[in-house]
Amino acid sequence: MAEAPARRNDWNTLRTLFPYLWRYKNRVLLALSLLIAAKFANVAVPLVLKDIVDALDGSKGALVLPLALVLAYGALRMFSSVFGELRDAVFAKVSQGAIRKVALEVFEHLHALSLRFHLERQTGGMSRDIDRGTKGISFLLNFMLFNILPTLVEIVLVAVILLQRYDWYFAAITFGTIVIYIGFTLGVTEWRMAFRREMNDMDSKANTKAIDSLLNYETVKYFGNERWESERFDASMAQYEAAAVKNQVSLSLLNAGQAVIIAAGVTALVWLAAHQVVTGRMTLGDLVLVNAFLLQLYAPLNFLGFVYREIKHSLADMERMFTLLHQHAEVRDEPGAQALHAAEAQVAFEHVDFGYDRNRQILHDVSFTIPAGRTLAVVGASGAGKSTLSRLMFRFYDAWSGRITINGQDLRQVTQESLRAHIGIVPQDTVLFNDTIYYNIAYGQPGATREEVIEAARSAHIYDFVMRLPDGFDTTVGERGLKLSGGEKQRVAIARTILKNPPILIFDEATSALDSRTEKAIQAELREISANRTTLVIAHRLSTVADADEIIVLDGGRVVERGTHRALLAAEGAYARLWALQLHEQRDDDASPLPDLPT
């Protein structure tokens, strides 16, 4: 009873795959027709060989070369191979097309999943699951359709011929051997699947640790934890090794059992045939026919054991990949959602409550409005919920209660694609693609001309820097943009946003990680591009938002103050205390004595 869920998952996996194949139904049907034709030709070969042997049996009279039979024998062998190759050629489009479609749907679905999923995912393990899953589809299609099915067709044809031509016990022994073989193979393979699944889990975990460690190479070096990382990776590989050993031992047991079953069946049939030749009830041609059928039948049957094992493994691999397709998309477009069109945009938060977890609320009854073309700044201590506002505006999450609107339209009633097309962001931590500077700027609007990309670089004041590089705009920035400094990455992000040209801008602590000189330069650029755009500035340093049209102060996820810089200072509340604290810290930094220099 415990194995039922595994079988049910296998059928679900096959049902999930079927629609991808049926898109090419004409090719599938043609391939199956060629498969059957090849098997008929293959089964006919021993029949013709029997007639050739009987014709050459000297005990029956003068020998005559059976030319027609020899030519028929050669033609059947040729057709058996040619039909098989044609079948593979016809089906290649089906298997590769299905793999491409599945891979594309998984890729698109992963992009459609919520930010929550991607914050919790393990990239290395997920990548390995997708890789194994697509390879599993290829193996399943090629071997299940062109090894299991042909073998079953051949078994039926051989059994019919044996029943028609010879005593019933020839067919009985053949069928009995096959049933015992298949029963043994299925039973042991099901038992072995636990080891394969454990191998997959350990492989994914080891790969996840390796990828995570390499992505954090600098952190590993900072703390000198190379040995610690090696030990973590080796611990996972040790678990994989143990599972792999169990898998191989059980495989050897399965192969040995299969060999014993086949050897017993072949010996019994050959003994019966030889006995009937001696007694005159069968000819030498009959003996050759039975032997040829056995070789022809048990060779693919022996391979069938391997194919079944690998199909089970492929189904397990595909199951993990298809599980990704069944991941629930937390944020979806509502039925009938309209595209957002807003050359000028007024943004409003209306009594918004939200938290990433139901047990921990982040925002409490947050309300504010950013008039079209104006700038609103949000300040507060770390953890106050400032960056959560930008995630809600992009609709990475939906508010628990209340609503967010653009020109009065609830964000949940417009398409996500059109919403995000209206918003540009310069984040605190700019992550770039491992490609050229040109590619990363052009990413803001992939259809932009080269002139438009260069003009965006000029507007972001990065053009001169790029042109001083040996490869100019074709300079690669490295993984996550690590070859560029913080200020250079921020300017690329600004250029990318300028090129996108959205009516709404978000600056999410865009300069907090930069030095004072670079910060002032980039702040000037941000003010320049935010002119006449609806802008939300999320900031930790209050000096960067003093000229905002309105400032709101968040404390514990609640709006505790709002007003202009001057009005908030005059109110002598939370904002004024933050301002005084940061001013004091800045004076302390400026007054810090120089360290004693060695003489």
Comparison of pLDDT for 86 and 478, the residue scoring more? 86
Mean pLDDT of 119-145: 74
Mean pLDDT of 328-352: 86
Mean pLDDT of 504-522: 75
Q: Is the pLDDT of residue 170 over 90?
A: no
pLDDT attached to residue 365 = 93
pLDDT attached to residue 593 = 47
pLDDT attached to residue 125 = 66
Mean pLDDT of 478-494: 82
* Nearest Cα residue to 439 out of 476, 465, 467, 469: 476
Q: Is the pLDDT of residue 121 over 70?
A: no
> Strand locations in 297-439, DSSP E?
347-354, 363-370, 375-380, 401-406, 409-410, 423-427
pLDDT tens-digit series, residues 171-183: 788 778 878 888 8
Domains in the chain (CATH in brackets) are 4-325 (1.20.1560.10), 347-589 (3.40.50.300)
pLDDT tens-digit series, residues 305-323: 667 767 777 787 788 788 7
CA distance 153 to 454: 65
Asked if 157 and 43 touch (Cβ cutoff 8 Å), the reply is yes
Mean pLDDT of 136-144: 78
Q: Which amino acid is at 573?
A: G
pLDDT attached to residue 515 = 66
DSSP strand pairing (534-538 vs 504-508): parallel
Q: Which amino acid is at 41?
A: A
Comparison of pLDDT for 330 and 454, the residue scoring more? 454
Confidence tier at 598 by pLDDT (50, 70, 90): very low
pLDDT attached to residue 351 = 94
pLDDT attached to residue 7 = 45
Q: What is the mean pLDDT of the chain?
A: 81
Mean pLDDT of 62-67: 61
pLDDT attached to residue 40 = 85
Asked if 377 and 548 touch (Cβ cutoff 8 Å), the reply is yes
Asked if 196 and 245 touch (Cβ cutoff 8 Å), the reply is no
Mean pLDDT of 55-59: 65
Q: Is the pLDDT of residue 594 over 70?
A: no
Mean pLDDT of 149-158: 78
Comparison of pLDDT for 260 and 518, the residue scoring more? 260
Q: Is the pLDDT of residue 470 over 50?
A: yes
Q: Is the pLDDT of residue 107 over 50?
A: yes
pLDDT attached to residue 72 = 86
* Nearest Cα residue to 174 out of 163, 159, 184, 186: 159
Mean pLDDT of 198-208: 81
- Report the predicted TM-score, pTM, of the whole model to 2 decimal places: 0.64
Q: Which amino acid is at 387?
A: S
Comparison of pLDDT for 407 and 583, the residue scoring more? 407
Weakest mean pLDDT among 82-91, 257-266, 291-300, 393-402: 291-300
Q: Is the pLDDT of residue 58 over 60?
A: no
Question: Helix 67-112 and helix 123-143: axis angle, to 10°?
Answer: 150
pLDDT attached to residue 588 = 58
pLDDT attached to residue 65 = 59
Mean pLDDT of 159-168: 79
Q: How many CB atoms lie within 10 A of CB 115?
A: 15
Comparison of pLDDT for 11 and 483, the residue scoring more? 483
* Nearest Cα residue to 162 out of 335, 290, 281, 12: 290
Mean pLDDT of 405-415: 92
Weakest mean pLDDT among 155-169, 397-411, 470-484, 532-546: 155-169
pLDDT tens-digit series, residues 216-257: 887 787 778 888 888 888 888 888 888 888 888 888 888 888
Mean pLDDT of 32-44: 85
Weakest mean pLDDT among 160-164, 338-342, 393-397: 160-164
pLDDT attached to residue 1 = 35
Q: Is the pLDDT of residue 596 over 50?
A: no
pLDDT attached to residue 161 = 81
Place of tokens 């990949």: 321
Mean pLDDT of 277-305: 74
Mean pLDDT of 540-544: 80
Weakest mean pLDDT among 281-285, 407-411, 452-456, 558-562: 281-285
Q: Which helix (H) or strand (E) holds 506?
A: strand 504-508
What is the rounded end-to-end Cα distance, in angstroms, of the chain?
Answer: 82
Residues 6+ apart with CB under 8 A from 79: 37, 38, 41
Confidence tier at 204 by pLDDT (50, 70, 90): confident
Q: How many CB atoms lie within 10 A of CB 453?
A: 22
Mean pLDDT of 331-345: 85
pLDDT attached to residue 414 = 92
Asked if 416 and 362 touch (Cβ cutoff 8 Å), the reply is no
Mean pLDDT of 427-437: 85
Of 90-94, 154-158, 353-357, highest mean pLDDT: 353-357
Mean pLDDT of 408-428: 89
